[in-house]
Amino acid sequence: MSPAISTGDRVLPAGGREATVGNALLDVRDLGKYFELSPRLGGHFLRGRRVLHAVDGVSFQIEKGQTLALVGESGCGKTTLARLVMRLVEPSFGAVFFSGRDVLGLDRSGVRWLRREMQIVFQDPYSSLNPRKTIEQIVGLPLKVHRIGTRAERRKRVTELLEMVGLEPAHMRRYPHEFSGGQRQRIAIARALAVSPSLVIADEPVSSLDVSIQAQVLNLLQALQRELALTYLFISHDLNVVELMSDKVAVMHAGKIVELGTTSEVFGEPMHPYTRALLASVPSLESPGVLPLLEGELISPINPGPGCRFRSRCPLATAECARQDPELETRARGHMVACIHV
């Protein structure tokens, strides 16, 4: 094991590459994940190497105390990207820096430190909680795993966490099936906060909840961010939720970020044709009627080849789009877009 530097009740791993990231808590650089698929399909062997480009060269930063929303259609790579950031999945290439430390260069003790600093709230509160454990056991498990406090101290901490998320201490003795979906998500949030993380990844945290309950959970997340100075990576396909929660927005399509900017820039002056299509697809009481649809077939993420991956559905596409894969470039005041036509 490498030596460690004491930082209060934290252990910061020594060694590894340093990164100059300014005020950024999380700095992701050209991160990618490819999965090689089996050549056998339906009892037949297919010719050639088949590689799924799940995440392909993604870069972004999140400053301390801010929320970056990652938005895009299902299957675009949002959850895979979150797992790469947390090092739950090993990337094919790229780099991740957290608090100035090289995440991919951490040894076993360093990964243990990272598990305290990064926590995740999953999409489905019904499947993310162990039905055979009490709420005290579920919320207190991270404290036990990281050997934080005595049994009495952990019990006190669980009580504090439940009150923090709007639940009663008496709920500790109950089991997950005795709670509603919104209450279960509050329990999941309490579990994520148990070890006082710096970064919380919220992966579609309200998509399975009723609208009225969604508002309660979102208000809770905002209040906790202010109170605890949390930083969020907020993953969602709901643009109304994204506009409410985020400071910055990264629009993801087919494993790549195609637009990145502040919330006001992306929602007020969208540049990429895909972003414009997403915003136009949001139902509105002010503009009832038939919603516009994206026409054309999706380009397969398996061996996608050269060119822009949105070109088959893009109204601006030209022959050049099939030859050139546009880079994410700054156009105005930090607003970034990957398109040769804007």
pLDDT digits (tens, 9 = 90+) for 233-262: 999 989 999 999 999 999 999 999 999 999
**Domain residue extents for the chain:** 4-36+50-282+301-337
Residues 6+ apart with CB under 8 A from 341: 273, 316, 318, 321
Q: Are 336 and 330 in contact (CB under 8 A)?
A: yes
Report pTM. Answer: 0.88
Instruction: Give the pLDDT of the chain (342 residues) as one tens digit per residue.
Output: 333 323 233 333 433 444 444 679 999 999 999 998 877 655 555 566 789 999 999 999 999 999 999 999 888 999 999 999 999 999 999 999 999 999 999 999 999 999 999 999 998 888 889 999 999 999 999 999 999 999 999 999 999 999 999 999 999 999 999 999 999 999 999 999 999 999 999 999 998 888 889 999 999 999 999 999 999 999 998 999 999 999 999 999 999 999 999 999 999 999 999 999 999 888 766 665 666 667 888 898 999 989 999 999 999 999 999 998 999 999 877 899 999 998
Report the C-alpha gap between 250 and 253 in whole angstroms. 10
3-state secondary structure 165-194: CCCCHHHHHCCHHHCCHHHHHHHHHHHHHC
To 10 degrees, what angle do helices 135-145 and 181-193 make? 20
What's the fold here for domain 4-36+50-282+301-337? Answer: Rossmann fold (3.40.50)
Token pair belonging to 201: 């990844």
Report the C-alpha gap between 101 and 164 in whole angstroms. 30
Q: Is 106 helix (H, G, I), strand (E, B) or coil?
A: coil
Token pair belonging to 212: 């009225």
Cα 305–68–252 angle (5° rounding)?
A: 20
pLDDT digits (tens, 9 = 90+) for 37-74: 877 655 555 566 789 999 999 999 999 999 999 999 88
